[in-house]
Amino acid sequence: MGGLQKKKFERGSATNYITRNRARKKLQLSLPDFRRLCILKGIYPHEPKHKKKVNKGSTAPRTFYLLKDIRFLLHEPIVGKFREYKIFVRKLKKAYGKTEWSAVERLRENKPTYKLDHIIKERYPTFIDALRDIDDALCMCFLFSTFARTGKCHVQTIQLCRRLTVEWMNYVIASRSLRKVFLSIKGIYYQAEVMGQLITWVVPYQFSHDHPVDVDYRVMATFTELYTTLLGFVSFRLYSSLNLVYPPKLDSNGESEPKEESEDDYAMNSESYLEKLSALSASLARVVSSADEEEAQLDQFPSEGEDMEKMEAREKELKQQEAQKKLFEGLKFYLNREVPRESLAFVIRCFGGQVSWDKSVCIGSTYDVTDETITHQIIDRPSVGKQYINRYYIQPQWLYDCVNAKILLPVEDYFLGVTLPPHLSPFVEEKEGDYVPPEKLKMMALQRGEKPGNEQEEDEEEEEEEGEQEEEEEQEEDDNGDEEDDEEEVAEEKNLKKMEEQRSQGKSLHVKVTPGKLKVENKARLEQEEKAEEKRLAIMMMKKKEKYLYDKIMFGKKRKVREANKLAAKRKAHDDSEKAKKKKARK
């Protein structure tokens, strides 16, 4: 014999991971501090491949971190700050206990604070990285900015969040980068394209929150701490990229200046400044006061023939985008007091419209109701007292739908008291075989420039299409079924034959004039059958693993088809019942 006995768990994966508790002890931090550190530094647990090996033979559920990550945390200056803070709290307690008020004061003055700048820089080495990860930051800041100042978190945090969100919205307006808006039951989703990154955030509706008790606000506050820092730096960079002054200042010589006389209604100039900013009605001051910065014409690079199509498509897209950016240009909106002002003002300004509201609603209104040049008045009540003849009174959904459709939709469907058409999510991109709601089809037709013709015809067409689709789908299903269970093959074959016959009959309706064609079709059918059988036989020869995967994929596909069919059926039933109701009403 000879040599040392190898000990277990001293090499390999067991040494690459560390449990949470051990990590905490290694860093000499309390659990909340460790949690905070992980949040700030973006350290997350890892699931080892062989849990039992890593867990030294035990199967107890544990959270594992990579040892590398924890070593990386060891050198973090913030850890020192945490310890300082701990000491500070201890001293403060002591001073309180001894009622040494001067000491308390002195300690409070020297309360240790920390900055997160270096962490931001470290986590996001480039600006684009930061921009990519800003979705959550925006959502969180928008949520915190709606909190009441009731002690769930620091008032300063709330104010900072509000400031940052306002800055963000102002940037989006200035850069006109908003792309999609969606009114959901949770809140309003916005999607903007900033420097080529799609950024989505959700803003809750303006109500006070009933704060749930099972939510740890400390965790949320830690995240917010990080997010405000991140958002601030990103805002700074974005503002400077547009030559805007940061922190934002209102453009003093803008044409749409808020009325001065309303000034004295508000307390102080300094106090109302943020509010004026958040009114979103005025443009921002620029560092270099460029009169009208012309969009630099994109140079065209002549390329090879195969790329030409792509180029053209891209150009077209660009043009469309430009058109979308100027969607509301030249329109003058007036917001009634019952509509969500901030959201609407934001959307309208993002697309170049002018907007105003009653001056008692919010600071920063630019014109009155009586203005004759107003083209649209956004209103969300069943009726209105005095109506001006030269403007549309429309419901707010119109604006959002226009933004999503990228065209100005006909206003008739959105008049006062009219049942609104469904509001569709702009984030859904239907693939082949997915269910497309008929409203979306209609919208797509409008986008293509087709006039909305006789609706009934269209409906019928759609139905036909759907019917065909269904048939195909069913056929597919049948095929799959065959492959799966051989014992039912006979029955299914029959079924298939019947189906095929039916189909051939159905299809031959327009062919029937020429009797000679029947054979040809028969041949085709035979061929198809042959092919189907070939496929079935080939599937029989698949390896076990591949067969499993194949079955899974096919199952998923079938489920999708089933769901789409279900939706279509539901819609059809609904439409039928509606029609019946209408008929009854007519009678």
Give, as ranges, the residues between 209 and 238 that touch other proteins (CB under 8 A): 209-212, 214-216, 219-220, 223, 228-229, 232-233, 235-237
Measured from the CB of residue 439, what is the shortest distance to other proteins in angstroms?
A: 6
Closest CB 182 distance from other proteins, rounded Å? 6
Q: Tell me how far, at minimum, the Cβ of 214 lies from other proteins, in Å.
A: 8
Asked if 481 interacts with other proteins (CB under 8 A), we say: no
Q: Is 497 in the site for other proteins (CB under 8 A)?
A: no
Query: CA nearest 64: which of 12, 10, 23, 8?
Result: 23
The tokens for 496 are: 């298939």
**Does residue 535 bind other proteins (CB under 8 A)?**
yes
According to the binding rule CB under 8 A, does residue 44 interact with other proteins?
Answer: yes
Residues 6 or more apart in contact with residue 383 via CB below 8 angstroms: 416, 417
Instruction: Give whichever of 177 and 366 is closer to other proteins, judged by the CB atom.
Output: 177
**Is 489 among the residues that bind other proteins (CB under 8 A)?**
yes
Binders of other proteins among residues 353 to 392 (CB under 8 A) are 380-381
CB atoms within 10 A of CB 419: 5
Tokens representing 486 are 């051989």
Backbone angles phi, psi at 355, to 5 degrees: -145, 145
Residue 370 backbone phi and psi in degrees, to 5: -75, -5
Q: In the structure encoding, which two tokens stand for residue 487, read together?
A: 């014992």
Interacting residue with other proteins among 419, 454, 456, 514 (CB under 8 A): 419
CB 440 within 8 A of CB 430: yes
422-441 positions binding other proteins, by CB under 8 A = 422-425, 427-428, 437-439
For the CB of residue 13, give the shortest distance to other proteins in the complex, in Å.
14
Selected range binding other proteins among 2-10, 318-326, 351-359, 545-553, rule: CB under 8 A: 545-553
* Paired tokens of 115: 């900055």
234 and 130 in contact (C-beta within 8 Å)? yes
- Verify binding: residue 525, other proteins, rule CB under 8 A: no
Q: Tokens representing 511?
A: 């062919």
Cis peptide leading into residue 247 (ω within 30°): yes
Torsional sign, CA 28, 34, 36, 40: positive
Binding residue for other proteins, selected from 13, 16, 200, 256, defined by CB under 8 A: 200
Q: Please state, in angstroms and rounded to a whole number, the distance separating the CA atoms of residues 361 and 56.
A: 65
- What does the alpha-carbon distance between residue 231 and residue 167 come to, in Å, rounded to a whole number? 10
CB nearer other proteins, residue 120 or residue 405:
120
Question: Which residues from 548-587 bind other proteins, rule CB under 8 A?
Answer: 549-550, 553-554, 557, 567-568, 570-571, 574
Name which of residues 122 to 161 contact other proteins (CB under 8 A): 122, 125-127, 130, 132-133, 135-136, 139-140, 143, 156, 160
As measured in angstroms, the least distance from the Cβ of 223 to other proteins is 5
Fill in the amino acid letter for 63.
T
Sequential DSSP letters for 216-232: -HHHHHHHHHHHHHHHH
Restricted to residues 168-187, the positions that interact with other proteins (CB under 8 A) are: 182-187
- Applying CB under 8 A, does 528 fall inside the site for other proteins? no
Give the interface segment with other proteins, choosing from 257-265, 296-304, 332-340, 363-371 (CB under 8 A): 332-340
* CA-based max dimension of the chain: 109
Site size with other proteins, rule: CB under 8 A: 113
When the beta carbons of 133 and 371 are compared against other proteins, the nearer one is 133
Which position has the token pair 């905490």?
24
Rounded CA separation 445/450 (Å): 5
DSSP 504-563: HHHHTTTTTT-TTHHHHHHHHHHHHHHHHHHHHHHHHTS-HHHHHHHHHHHHHHHHHHHH
Whether residue 398 contacts residue 416, with contact meaning beta carbons closer than 8 Å, is answered with no
Q: Phi and psi of 349, rounded to 5°? A: -70, -30
Q: Please report how close the Cβ of residue 109 comes to other proteins at its closest, in angstroms.
A: 6
Closest distance between other proteins and the C-beta of residue 176, in Å? 22
Least distance to other proteins, CB of residue 283, Å: 21
Spatial contact of 231 and 134, defined as CB atoms under 8 Å apart: yes
Interaction of residue 515 with other proteins, rule CB under 8 A = no
- Is the Cβ of residue 223 or residue 273 nearer to other proteins in the bound state? 223
Report if residue 119 touches other proteins, rule: CB under 8 A.
no
- DSSP result, 252-268: TT-SSPPPSGGGGGSS-
Cβ closest to other proteins, residue 179 vs residue 366: 179
Pattern of binders to other proteins over 252-291, x per CB under 8 A? ----------------------------------------
What's the alpha-carbon Rg for the chain, to the nearest Å? 32
Candidate residues 22, 26, 46, 558; the one interacting with other proteins per rule CB under 8 A? 46
Closest approach of other proteins to the CB of residue 62, in Å: 12
338 lines the binding site for other proteins (CB under 8 A): yes
- Residue carrying the six token digits 């009678």: 587
Interaction of residue 412 with other proteins, rule CB under 8 A:
no
In angstroms, give the least distance from the CB of 583 to other proteins. Answer: 18
